């Protein structure tokens, strides 16, 4: 079976509290986007993993696809599989690409071996892989809170809007990004704010990581500004960076403007 594990953006990201377990409580709207990897999982005589495309740092055993397999293998008598991941989504880019690969592996194994797991059970397995991972089980816009792995409904629909994502090849580690943060109460009620027309989000919807990372990497602020100058209704960094996105009312082509960087553009 071939699947296309897609990335996400964060629309607004408040870091509200440091928790006793060392993680942070956040409030954010997670929204799926079309930038995707390619994942093939087939039953096989022995377990194997191959990746092509963008180089993934670390050993294959640390890859979230294999971690997901091992997690399910502990509880179910599943046969070996061969996994081929073609990596397209930039790594350490705030788009949850690795988390999506892990979640899609859980969904694929569930389907392939008829494990009969409910969405809720699959989300619980995904939570063990990483904070962002459970979101990709249902893979639909959600208000995310707690570690980013608890969900409630949010009234936001960007279907028909056009998104441009710019990744300036700066790898930001999530641990490092959180370590520079002083948590504070959320600046606004995201669920209410996102009901407003998108043109009104600019001064109300913030990503708390920007304040720390923009002074360190001035290019990030420059890209965000260029997106507004090019007519974006809303622009922001996603997650812990370094990808910056702009949402436009109609189709634009900004590939020439950012030709040194990885760019993805398409309808939401
Ligand atoms: C910042 C966010 C926002 O959506 O996205 P990305 O930028 O990674 O896409 C997420 O919170 C990233 O989630 P994820 O990448 O799954 O993080 P994990 O693997 O669970 O944790 C990596 C490290 O980040 C820190 N961490 C993560 C999540 C959280 N709510 N609080 C934290 O403090 C911890 O130090 C943890 O050891
Ligand atoms: N399938 C995978 N794809 C990308 N990174 C992975 C994968 N499995 C494990 N990782 C590890 O996760 C880290 C980054 O995860 P990623 O989801 O790309 O970042 P972010 O959470 O910032 O969007 C990398 O350091 C990488 O070693």
Question: Distances from the Cα of 192 to the Cαs of 189, 201, 238, 255, in angstroms?
Answer: 5, 11, 20, 34
What's the pLDDT tens digit per position in 85-139?
Answer: 999 999 999 999 999 999 999 999 999 999 999 999 999 999 999 999 999 999 9
- Please state the residue numbers annotated as binding site for ATP: 90-100
- Can you tell me the distance from the alpha carbon of 97 to that of 37, in angstroms, rounded to the nearest whole number? 8
Question: In the chain, helix, strand, coil percent, each to 5?
Answer: 30, 30, 40
pLDDT at 18 > cutoff 90: yes
Q: Provide the CATH number for the domain formed by 162-267 in this structure.
A: 3.30.70.890
Alpha helices in the chain (DSSP H): 64-75, 97-112, 119-129, 135-138, 174-179, 190-193, 208-216, 218-229
Measure 28 CA to ligand 1 centroid, in angstroms.
Answer: 13
pLDDT at 232 > cutoff 90: yes
Residue 202: what pLDDT?
A: 95
Answer yes or no: same fold for 2-152 and 162-267. no
CB atoms under 10 Å from CB of 131, counted, come to 19
Is residue 37 flagged as an active site residue? no
Residue 187: what pLDDT?
A: 85
Quick one: which of 146, 143, 142, 150 has its CA closest to 126? 150
What's the pLDDT tens digit per position in 174-209?
Answer: 999 999 899 999 988 999 999 999 999 999 999 999
What's the complex ipTM?
0.97
What's the pLDDT tens digit per position in 44-64?
Answer: 999 999 999 999 999 999 999
pLDDT at 33 > cutoff 90: yes
Ligand 1, atom 32, lies closest to the CA of: 23
pLDDT at 35 > cutoff 90: yes
Name the closest ligand to CA 91. 2
Quick one: which of 11, 266, 253, 245 has its CA closest to 161? 266
Q: Provide the CATH number for the domain formed by 2-152 in this structure.
A: 3.30.230.10
Quick one: which of 145, 180, 183, 209 has its CA closest to 18? 183
- Angle, CA 262 vertex, CA 257 and CA 265 arms, to 5°: 70
pLDDT at 1 > cutoff 90: no
Residue 244: what pLDDT?
A: 98
What's the pLDDT tens digit per position in 132-167?
Answer: 999 999 999 999 999 999 999 999 999 999 999 999
Is residue 8 flagged as an active site residue? yes
Measure 132 CA to ligand 1 centroid, in angstroms.
Answer: 7
Catalytic residue among 37, 101, 132, 208: 132
Ligand 1, atom 26, lies closest to the CA of: 23
Residue 180: what pLDDT?
A: 87
Q: Is the pTM of this model over 0.90?
A: yes
Strands 48-53 and 81-87: parallel
Closest ligand 1 atom to Cα of 96:
9
- Can you tell me the distance from the alpha carbon of 103 to that of 131, in angstroms, rounded to the nearest whole number? 11
How many C-alpha atoms does 71 have within 13 Å on its Cβ side? 24
pLDDT at 78 > cutoff 90: yes
- Can you tell me the distance from the alpha carbon of 245 to that of 241, in angstroms, rounded to the nearest whole number? 10
Residue 44: what pLDDT?
A: 97
**Contact yes or no for 97/89 (Cβ under 8 A):** yes
For the chain, the structural domain boundaries read 2-152, 162-267
Strands 24-36 and 48-53: unpaired
Name the closest ligand to CA 28. 1
User: What integer is the mean pLDDT of 13-37?
Assistant: 98
Following DSSP, what letter does each residue of 4-44 receive, concatenated? --EEEEEEEEEEEEE-TTS-EEEEEEEEEEEEE-EEEEEE-
């Amino acid at each position: 079976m071939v699947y296309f594990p897609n990335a996400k953006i964060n629309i607004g990201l408040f870091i509200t509290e440091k928790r006793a377990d060392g993680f942070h409580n956040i409030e954010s709207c997670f929204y799926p986007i079309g930038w995707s990897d390619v994942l093939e999982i087939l039953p096989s005589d022995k377990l194997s993993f191959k990746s092509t495309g963008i180089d993934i740092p670390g050993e294959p055993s640390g890859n979230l696809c294999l971690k997901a397999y091992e997690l399910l293998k502990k509880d179910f008598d599943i046969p070996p599989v061969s996994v081929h991941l073609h990596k397209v989504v930039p790594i350490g880019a705030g788009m949850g690409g690795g988390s999506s690969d892990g979640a899609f592996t859980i969904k694929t194994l569930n389907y392939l071996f008829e494990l009969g797991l409910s969405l809720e059970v699959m989300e619980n397995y995904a939570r063990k892989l990483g904070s962002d991972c459970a979101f990709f089980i249902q893979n639909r816009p959600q208000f995310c809170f707690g570690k980013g792995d608890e969900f409630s409904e949010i009234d936001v629909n960007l279907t028909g809007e056009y998104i441009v994502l710019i990744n300036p090849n700066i790898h930001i580690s999530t641990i490092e990004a959180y370590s520079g943060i002083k948590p504070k109460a959320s600046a606004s009620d995201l669920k209410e704010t996102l009901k407003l027309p998108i043109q009104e989000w600019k001064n109300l919807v913030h990503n708390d990581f920007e304040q720390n990372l923009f002074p360190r990497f001035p290019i990030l602020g420059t890209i965000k500004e260029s997106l507004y100058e090019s007519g974006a209704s809303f622009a922001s960094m996603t997650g812990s960076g370094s990808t910056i996105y702009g949402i436009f009312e109609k189709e634009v082509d900004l590939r020439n403007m950012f030709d040194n960087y990885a760019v993805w553009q398409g309808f939401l």
